[in-house]
Amino acid sequence: MHTSPRTPESRRRGPNGRFLPRTTLTEPAPVGENVVAAPDDPTPTEQVVTTETPTIERPDLELPEDRFLNRELSWLDFNARVLTLAEDPETPLLERAKFLAIFSSNLDEFYMVRVAGLKRRLNAGLPMRGGDRSSLRNQLEMISQRTADLVTRHSACFSDEVRPKLRAEGIEIVKWADLDDGERERQRTYFREQVFPVLTPLAVDPAHPFPYISNRSLNLAVVLKDPDDAGGELFARIKVPNNVPRFVTVQNDSRAARFLPVEELIAVHLDQLFPGMELQEWHVFRVTRNAELEVDEDRDEDLLQALERELAQRRFGPPVRLEVAASISDHVLDLLVRELDVTGADVQRVPGLLDMSALWQVFGECDRDDLKDRPFVPATHPQLADGEVPRSVFNRLRESDILVHHPYHSFSTSVQRFIEQAAADPDVLAIKQTLYRTSGDSPIVDALVDAAAAGKQVVVLVEVKARFDEVANIAWARTLERAGCHVVYGLVGLKTHCKTALVVRQEGNQIRRYCHIGTGNYHPKTARLYEDFGMLTADPEVGADVTDLFNVLTGYSRQRSYRRLLVAPHGVRAGLIERIEEQARIAREGGDALVQIKVNSLVDEETIDALYQASYDGVQIDLIIRGMCALRPGVPGLSENIRVRSIVGRFLEHSRVFRFGAGDDAEYWIGSADMMHRNLDRRVEALVRVTLPTAREELRYVLDLSMSDGTEGFDLAGDGTWHRHPANLTEPHLHLQEALLRRVIGKAS
């Protein structure tokens, strides 16, 4: 890798081991050598020694061309870290199965979105390259190779480790041959009554064209022979129905849990689907399709109608991946490749079970707490806990801001209660809220409907373009409109991703505004699975900012400057880089400088370059990146002062937190924005500055503990490889999430 010609040997380290900032000094003359007479001094025999004040120059960092890691491979590395937890014998057994399921779901989405996007650009002849300058074709080749290795690891983890250990615990995915006569008879009855009626075998011949294979459906490729015809083989396809469970329950009681894959149940009854024919072979296959939507918001007058048209076409997107059983015969595979119009590079041979996302079913149906993570009940935040006399959220917020940390703090007794109390409070005049994703039975939506019914002004920005939640969000938008809410869909060309709520309340002769700004969605179910921060506040400046932000979202305001907020697409990148550069200035002047950033992804080149320059200037930089990271840490002459860690655990690390400064006056920010082009340029995002001392201390504690040498995680090296920390898990270490559970739940109890 090419680096700056300034070598690390030319730099001095301070007592903490960090490289000191590079400075240009005018060297003082030794005493007695630089002697001048003061021009107006009456006694020229007196000598005055002068030393020039050091001047600080901003050093020019020569940025190497290969300073960025490939974002697609970095994402695959993230999924590899998920797989590592499945491979870890210290992970509870059913949790290992869950991580195998998460790996599969993640990979599906990666192909439907990222790989599909690369292929579309390649086919369109667009010469787009990533920050690492790799061509589209080269990126697709690297993805194919890396994915093949991961799929092999994934299958081996299940077949060699997890499946045998589950069997030893009485949890088994069985084959037809493993069933006794009574079990087979019960399965035959189930097939006849529940499965057979919804199966549709489709022949492929000159009169029957190759059928459409829907996205992510499981299918059987069946080869038959007509005993009365001397002709060749016949081919048919059977779609495994998605309205029956993937695993048929054979037994699930206190003694054992046994499941039969439904595709095997169908296969053993193929004679009922093709009576009079000879079965030659059958194989399972699966297709992943492009699921990206393309809506021209400038052309389409009704966004909802345009989006619904596109959603209807999503399942017809071109194939981007063909998964087949490793045992598939060559001639059947050739037929599938030809008919689906895919290339050999698009084919993944999977040893064993296809689509292990179905292991979620096993995880959910097996009532074995001894094989799962210890259950917990989220704590009510101490400032929201009811005493002898219950007090409203508004009374508490007039006293102090409240920083909640999910899933450790309960979503229902904090954010949900805030909205519900606002809906029921006769003094509340208006509620304004953004909804990006929410649950299917959302109490938040119910509260907004109740508020509208009570005559309050309710404004809801529903982001109908939220990927894979478009259908649900369209339904919510129409429900809210019918209830009398003012529903808007954001700004043309931008997704509204910020997590904000505003409550306007009449209090005597004044109007007071209460706000919530968070890092996660208003989704009670994922709030038990995702790690997120949220701030509830009655601060007038924040209230004024959020009011201005909603005027931007609902009207024609072009406001770009705020008091306590940074708002994308115009303010987040510039605001963060400005603060990074301020820390660089402090470091160049010899002060202690620190930047800590916790986000899901860091791939924005301009932000990364600012971090490189700050590191070069002597700033200590700690990056806690769950997913993609295109920055190379620890590279001599470029990023010696940068550390990157990823924490993957039972909860999805989802919060975005920013710290600038090493002392008590450090700035802390939380919000919705990751360091990606889409967040900084094509979305409405909001970060809020946290000023409450106790909240700042809580953020500092989480950031410092995340980067502690004793905390388990994955550290990124300059060559792009990730290494588990500590390397030997027999060494003393702590799990960040378990430590926070003990701390927060312990305080509440």
Q: Which has the closest alpha carbon to 584: 660, 687, 640?
A: 660
Separation of CA 657 from chain center: 14
| Active-site residue, selected from the candidate residues 497, 516, 523, 725 | 497
Distance CA 370, CA 357 (A): 22
Residue 530 marked as a ligand binder:
yes
Are 706 and 683 within 8 A, CB to CB? Answer: no
Would the annotation count 654 as a binding residue? yes
467 is in an annotated binding site: yes
Contact predicate 523/439, CB 8 Å: yes
Task: Report the distance separating Cα 498 and Cα 435, nearest Å.
Answer: 9
Q: Is 22 labeled as ligand-binding?
A: no
Distance CA 585, CA 547 (A): 34
CA–CA distances in Å: residue 419 to residues 351, 432, 437, 543: 49, 10, 16, 16
Region of 490 on the Ramachandran plot (φ > 0 left; ψ -120 to 50 alpha; else beta): left
One-letter amino acid of 673: A
Query: If we measure between CA atoms, which residue out of 209, 220, 207 comes closest to residue 270?
Result: 220
Residues 6+ apart with CB under 8 A from 364: none
What single DSSP character describes residue 735? -
Burial of 503 (0-12, 13-18, 19+ CB in 10 A): buried
Reduce the DSSP state of residue 220 to 3 states and report it: strand
| Residue with token string 């905390």 | 711
Match 């037929």 to its residue by tokens. 335
Q: How far is the C-alpha of 616 from the C-alpha of 640, rounded, in Å?
A: 7
Task: Find out whether 539 and 514 touch, Cβ atoms under 8 Å.
Answer: no
735 is an active site residue: no
Q: β-strands 510-518, 530-537: how paired?
A: antiparallel
Six token digits for residue 197: 């009626």
Instruction: Confirm if 583 and 611 have CB atoms less than 8 A apart.
Output: no
Strands (E) located in 67-150: none
Element spanning 366, H or E: none
CA distance 206 to 229: 16
Question: Binding site for Mg(2+): residue ranges?
Answer: 437, 467
Question: Binding site for ATP: residue ranges?
Answer: 106, 530, 626, 654
Catalytic residue positions, numbered: 497
